[in-house]
Amino acid sequence: MRPQLRRSLVMLVAVALDLAAGDPPNRWHPVAWMGTAIAAASRRLAHRTPARALLSGAALMAAGETGVLATASACERLLHSLPEPLALLLEALMLKMTIAPRGLALAALSIERALLSGDLAAARRLLAWHLVSRDTSDLSPSQGAAATIESVAENTSDGIVAPLLYYAAAGLRGALAYRFANTADAMLGYHDREREWLGKVPARLDDLLNLLPSRLTAALLLGAAAFRREGARQAWRILRRDHARTASPNAGYPMSAMAGALGLELEKLGHYRLGAGQAQAQPEDISRAVRLSATALGIGLLGFTAAAALWPRGRGHRGN
């Protein structure tokens, strides 16, 4: 089987597995293992001065990525020794561990239900637990809905499109290496005394790795908006106008596309304001964002599957 077509099938099965079963407990989840290892290493690394912290962060990333790539390569060699149907299923299961479309949708919809029922305290708690690192204690219902929608847009890129894109390009090694960098940035990429310099290298690497996925996600959201008859033209206008208004060089792309498609203003006070002048987000808009995210994923999978099927035939071989 041609590698491109095989990877396409693996991605389809991985997404199906995630939608059907969701995430396993943390003790069985490779991303949770990565987080545990990053936390343990960051506690042990010397970072009393900015220079030492910067070098420690670089060392952590070099060692972590080397370990992840070696492990992924060993897994791929093992898979190549197995019968094709079993190998494909196991590879899809491993890829499934790097994506979370079901978890993202369930988290967002749980916040929507809390807001619609008038339980603002529960909505704030769920938002902080599942989706954002900011303080949610004083968010209004509209601000909570907006923060949820922003997270759906950004996590469509970070938690779905990016791992699949790197898998398509480099197999399990690509997906798992991306997931390690993204996890390290999520844990260390903060502007506080402990992590300001320790997280510099993880944050810059994550920025680099997300340059293409964030822009691809924005394009997929434009396609999803057109398919669902949301505001595709408005999405394009707001994307062009507002994509650079976030501190991150990447997050503004999917978030501004989502803001324009839904006709909403998405604001993080003191940081950015996307889609200024549009309607304020309401709890029921969260479902619209989730549907756009799911449609963007479907368009992406169909596009890659079609490209893989049409890829010029070469000498077939197994594996990656």
Query: In this model, does residue 2 exceed pLDDT 50?
Result: yes
Q: What percent of the chain has pLDDT over 90?
A: 83
Q: Kind of pairing, strands 272-274 and 279-280? A: unpaired
Residue 319 domain-assigned?
A: no
Q: Which two tokens stand for residue 312?
A: 């010029």
- Nearest Cα neighbor of 153 from 137, 169, 131 is 131
Does a structural domain hold residue 320?
Answer: no
Tell me the mean pLDDT in the region 19-26: 91
pLDDT classification of 317: cutoffs 50, 70, 90:
very low
Pairwise CA distance, residues 138 & 156, whole Å: 26
Give residue-wise pLDDT tens across range 254-306: 999 999 999 999 999 889 999 999 999 999 999 999 999 999 999 999 998 88
Residue 133 is assigned to a structural domain of this protein: yes
3-state secondary structure of 159: helix
Convert the pLDDT of each residue in 108-120 to its tens digit: 999 999 999 999 9
**pLDDT tens readout for residues 181-200:** 999 999 999 888 888 899 99
CB 260 within 8 A of CB 275: yes
Q: What is the pLDDT of residue 314?
A: 52
Whether residue 199 lies inside any domain: the answer is yes
Number of folded domains that form the chain: 1
317 assigned to some structural domain? no
The pLDDT value recorded for residue 319 is 44
Whole-angstrom Cα distance, residue 165 to residue 212?
9
Residue 177: pLDDT band (50, 70, 90) is very high
Name the strands in the sheet holding 279-280, side by side, starting at the edge strand that comes first in the sequence.
Answer: 272-274, 264-268, 279-280
- Report yes or no on 318 lying in a domain: no
Q: So what's the pLDDT on residue 312?
A: 67
In a domain, 123, yes or no: yes
Query: pLDDT band at residue 320, thresholds of 50, 70 and 90?
Result: very low
The pair of structure tokens assigned to 36 is: 């545990």
Rounded mean pLDDT, 230-248: 96
Average pLDDT of span 131-143? 93
Least confident of 25-29, 61-65, 207-211: 25-29
- Rounded to 5°, the CA angle 154-281-187 comes to 30
How does pLDDT run across 41-100, given as a tens digit for each residue? 988 876 678 899 999 999 999 999 999 999 999 999 999 999 999 999 999 999 999 999
Mean pLDDT of 150-178: 96
**With 50 as the cut, is the pLDDT of residue 316 above it?**
no
Domain span holding position 23: 3-310
pLDDT at 172 over 60: yes
Q: Which amino acid is at 46?
A: A
What is each CA distance from 150 to 3, 157, 276, in whole angstroms?
Answer: 35, 11, 14
Q: Answer yes or no: is 235 within a domain.
A: yes
The DSSP element (H or E) to which 267 belongs, if any, is strand 264-268
Structure tokens at 320: 């990656």
